[in-house]
Every structure is written in structure tokens, then in C-alpha cells.
Amino acid sequence: MIAALLVLAAFASVMVGAKGLAPAAVLDALLHPRPGDPDHLIVWQVRIPRTIVGLLAGAALGLAGAIIQGVTRNPLADPGIMGVNAGASLCIVLAISVLGVQSVAGYVWFGFLGAILASVLVYGVSMLGGEGGTPLRIALSGAACTAAFGSLTTGVLVTDNVTFEQFRFWQVGSLWGRASDAAWQAFPFLVAGFVLAFACARVLNGLSLGDDVARSLGHNVVVGRATCAAAVVVLCGSATAIAGPIAFVGLVVPHAARLLTGPDHRWLLPFSMLLAPLLLLVADIVGRVIAPPGEVQVGVVTAIIGAPVFIHLVRRRKQVAV
């Protein structure tokens, strides 16, 4: 059912835009492409790359969100807890300012590098001391590093107007203007992230019951957490690099998936992988039609959807605590 809805959302993503295309025109472009036909050029050069980026980035964010909530045992956790967005943003700003990188395809590598370095730093800081990388220490390390990266990014932007003009296009979080080259460059990393994510399913079931229970079930807690962290790094780094820092998808989707699957990560992960791109494509379609002839970027739409959910989760946790 969800897979069918995802296919329909992908088809609608190819149809809807500044110039609407009839279903017959889209099918004709897909089955009998003609390079000289304007509608076919829109489908193949604009809409399909945009839809592919949405599918890949959504799947990556959904998986990353489910993993980070499982490994930290925190239902309010989001992939940004590991400083991925902030690290990727800082690295891209430096690439634009120092190296003169201007293309989205070029952003992929620097965004991915920044995400890796940020996550390694956050996890490394959380491991300092005798307690190791506990969920609380990871969260606190992520918050501290995110603040530091944000300050450095702002420092570069306020002194370089050219960098600011280029960076703000990427920073919003958008599927518009994303070239297929960027998606294909990130694709091998995404595949590696998907493999790592599904390899984490059993250890996540153990970690969700606590470290002592996980050890009694035969899991190596340190190795398990490191594998989960690596999966989150690869998935979030790739998604952030190709689509920008899109918020709340990794927060909202795992909660929706749990309503369908329960807490078992062997089912939760694949359902999150399907629901997240569905949400992202629907949000992108909504953004194209609510403010014609322009559009609202998908990062803004997901924030509008996700913020009320986040507030609801916080209020529910407070009520439970009371």
C-alpha cells in the first residue's frame, strides 16, 4: 500500500510544477522521449532529477531518523543531533568561500565530508571520560558541536557577501534545481548507508531495551553503536549534501512508522525508508502549488508539518513525566 502511494507521489511529482503536465503527456515522455519536445525536456531534465533526489534524500533521512532515535532511546532525537547539518553547512561555506565551488554537484563532496567530520567529532567527544558514548552524552556533544559549527558558519557568511548569496540557495533545503549528477555522485554512499542501516536492525532492538539487556543478548554495545553512528553519518551526509538541511523528516517519520509496525526495527526501518520519501515528495508538491507562480521550498513545508508534531511529542513527554 505504502509502496503504491510512493509510486503515485513520484508520478505526481513529475506532473506538477509551474507548467502542469497531463498524465498522458508524462507517460508519452517516459515511454517515447523526444529531445526536441519542450514537455519531454521538462520531464527528463527537471522533474525526474528532482523526483529522484526526493526519493533518495527522503529514504536516507527516514532511515537515519529511525536509527538515531533507537540508538539514543530518545523519541525527540533527530539526525541533526549529531551535528550533521551544521558540519555539512560549515564545510560547504568554506568550499564556496575558499575554493570557489559553485555547483550543486560540487557541494556533494564537501557536504558529505563535513557531515563525516562533524559526526566523528561528536561521537569522539561523547566517548571522553569513563562513561563512554551514552545517549545523553551524545545529545549534549551534538548540541555543543552544532552551536560551534553554526557560529563559525555565521562568521564566514557575514564577512563574505558572495558566499552568502550562493549558500542561501542550498541552506533552505530544497529539491528545486538539484541536478541528477549530484544524486548519482551520492548514490554509492547512499547504498552503503542503506546496507549499514539494515545491518543495525537487530542490535537496535537490543539497545532499545538498555545496554545491559543488549549485552545479555550477545550484542557488542560499542561496536553496535559505532555501526549505527556510521550509518547515520553516511545517510545524513549524503542527503544533506544533495538536498540541503531538510528538517523534521527524520523526527516525524519514525513515529508514523511505529504506529504501523511497532518497535521492532526489522520492520520499522523499511517502513521508515518508504514513508520518508512519500512525505518529502508530497511536501515538495504542496510547496509548488501553494504560492504560484513561485514555490515554497520543501524544507519550509516539512518544518511547518514537523514543528506541531515536535511540540505534541514534547507535551506528551512532559505529561508522562508528571
The pLDDT score that the predictor gives to residue 99 is 86
Q: What is the pLDDT of residues 68-120, one digit of tens each?
A: 888 888 777 777 767 777 888 888 888 888 888 776 667 777 877 888 888 78
The pLDDT score that the predictor gives to residue 280 is 94
d(CA 50, CA 177): 7
Phi-psi region of 218 (alpha: psi -120 to 50; beta: other; left: phi over 0): left
The DSSP secondary structure of 130-160, one letter per residue, reads SS-S-HHHHHHHHHHHHHHHHHHHHHHHTT-
Under 8 Å between Cβ of 118 and 51: no
Q: How confident is the model at residue 317 (pLDDT cuts 50, 70, 90)?
A: low
The better pLDDT of the pair 233, 28 is held by: 28
CATH number for the domain harbouring residue 23: 1.10.3470.10
Which residues contact residue 278 at a Cβ distance below 8 angstroms, ignoring those fewer than 6 apart? 2, 5, 6, 9, 58
Instruction: Supply the range of the domain harboring residue 251.
Output: 2-321
Q: How confident is the model at residue 15 (pLDDT cuts 50, 70, 90)?
A: very high
d(CA 118, CA 242): 17
Is residue 293 over pLDDT 80? no
Highest mean pLDDT among 6-10, 43-47, 169-173, 301-305: 6-10
Q: How confident is the model at residue 6 (pLDDT cuts 50, 70, 90)?
A: very high
Q: How far is CA 34 from CA 25, 28, 42, 212, 318, in A?
A: 12, 9, 11, 61, 58
What average pLDDT does the segment 15-38 reach? 88
Is residue 189 over pLDDT 60? yes
Q: What is the pLDDT of residues 112-142, one digit of tens each?
A: 788 888 878 887 887 776 666 666 677 778 8
What average pLDDT does the segment 216-232 reach? 86
The pLDDT score that the predictor gives to residue 132 is 61
Determine the 3-state secondary structure of 178 from DSSP. coil
The pLDDT score that the predictor gives to residue 277 is 95
What average pLDDT does the segment 2-22 reach? 90
Q: How far is CA 321 from CA 61, 255, 310, 315, in A?
A: 29, 19, 17, 10
The DSSP secondary structure of 54-92, one letter per residue, reads HHHHHHHHHHHHHHHHHHHT-TT--GGGGTHHHHHHHHH
Give how many domains the chain has, as a whole number. Answer: 1
The pLDDT score that the predictor gives to residue 264 is 92
Q: What's the start-to-end Cα distance of the chain, in Å? A: 39
Q: How confident is the model at residue 274 (pLDDT cuts 50, 70, 90)?
A: very high
The pLDDT score that the predictor gives to residue 276 is 95
Q: How confident is the model at residue 272 (pLDDT cuts 50, 70, 90)?
A: very high
Is residue 321 over pLDDT 50? no
Element of type H or E holding 319: helix 298-321
- The single residue listed with the C-alpha cell 555539512 is 88
The pLDDT score that the predictor gives to residue 179 is 64
